[in-house]
Amino acid sequence: MSNPLDRTASLALMHEYVSSEALRKHMLCVEAAMRAYARQWGEDEETYGTVGLLHDFDYERWTNPPDHPLQGAEILRERGYPEQVIYAIKSHADYLPDCPRVSRLDKTLYACDELCGFIIACAAVRPERLVSMEAKSVKKKLKQKSFAAAVNRDDIDRGAADLGLDLDEHIQFCIAALAAMPSES
C-alpha cells in the first residue's frame, strides 16, 4: 500500500470485510465524527478518519473478544497501516488491558463509537432524522434503557469524560458531524 491512510484503500478494505450495510453506515458515521474533531483540534484528519472508518472492519468475521479487534490489527499491520492507527483501534476494546486509551486519538474513537451508534438510532425514529436534533432529546433517549438497549450508556459518559468534554456539547458536536455527512460516502 503506497499511502496507508488513503481513504480509497481504506474503503476498499471495509467493503472487503464488511457486508452489513448497517455496520458500514456505523463505521462511516464514526469516521465523520472523528474527522470533525480532527479539524476542530488541528489534528491530522486522515489519521482520525482512518481510525473511525476501520475501527470495526473485522467485527463480522471475528465477533468474539479479543479476536475483534486483534485479528483486524494483524491485517492492518500486514497492509502497512501506522502503529498509531492500529493501537487506537485496539484501544476501543475495554477488554484489552494492555491497550489503555492514552492519546487524544484513542480517546476520541472511544468517545465517538457508541455515541454515533446511539445518535443514528435516535435519528431512525424521527421523521426529520438528524435535522434539528438536539442533545437534550438524545439524553432523554439515553435514560430509556429499552431504547437501543445494546448501546452501553456508561461508555458514552466515560468517553466524553475521558476527553474532558461536556456530554451535551459532545453529543451536539457529533450530531452536527453526522448531519453534515454526504448522503453517499
pLDDT digits (tens, 9 = 90+) for 124-171: 999 999 999 999 999 999 999 999 999 999 999 999 999 999 999 999
Decide which of 83 and 3 is more confident.
Answer: 83
- Kindly state whether residue 128 falls inside one of the protein's structural domains: yes
Model confidence band, residue 2 (pLDDT cutoffs 50, 70, 90): low
- For the ranges 26-30, 37-41, 57-61, 62-66, the lowest mean pLDDT is seen at 62-66
Q: What is the pLDDT of residue 97?
A: 87
Q: What is the mean pLDDT of residues 53-72?
A: 95
- Kindly state whether residue 184 falls inside one of the protein's structural domains: no
Q: What is the 3-state secondary structure (H, E, C) of the chain?
A: CCCCCCHHHHHHHHHHHCCCHHHHHHHHHHHHHHHHHHHHHCCCHHHHHHHHHHCCCCCCCCCCCCHHHHHHHHHHHHCCCCHHHHHHHHHCCCCCCCCCCCCHHHHHHHHHHHHHHHHHHHHHCCCCCCCCCCHHHHHHHHCCCCCCCCCCHHHHHHHHHHHCCCHHHHHHHHHHHHHCCCCCC
Q: Is the pLDDT reported for residue 185 higher than 50?
A: no
Mean pLDDT of the chain: 95
The one-letter code for the residue type at 133 is M
Torsion of CA 44, 50, 53, 59, to 10 degrees: -140
- Kindly state whether residue 95 falls inside one of the protein's structural domains: yes
- Kindly state whether residue 77 falls inside one of the protein's structural domains: yes
- Kindly state whether residue 1 falls inside one of the protein's structural domains: no
- Kindly state whether residue 97 falls inside one of the protein's structural domains: yes
Q: What is the pLDDT of residue 3?
A: 74
- Kindly state whether residue 138 falls inside one of the protein's structural domains: yes
- CATH of residue 148's domain is 1.10.3210
Longest CA span, the chain: 47
- Kindly state whether residue 36 falls inside one of the protein's structural domains: yes
Parent domain of 82: 7-179
How many distinct structural domains can be found in the chain? Answer: 1
Look at the block and give the residue holding cell 434539528. 132
Q: Taking the model in full, what pTM does it have?
A: 0.95
Q: What is the mean pLDDT of residues 9-37?
A: 97
Q: Is the pLDDT reported for residue 10 higher than 50?
A: yes
User: First vs last Cα of the chain: how many Å apart?
Assistant: 22
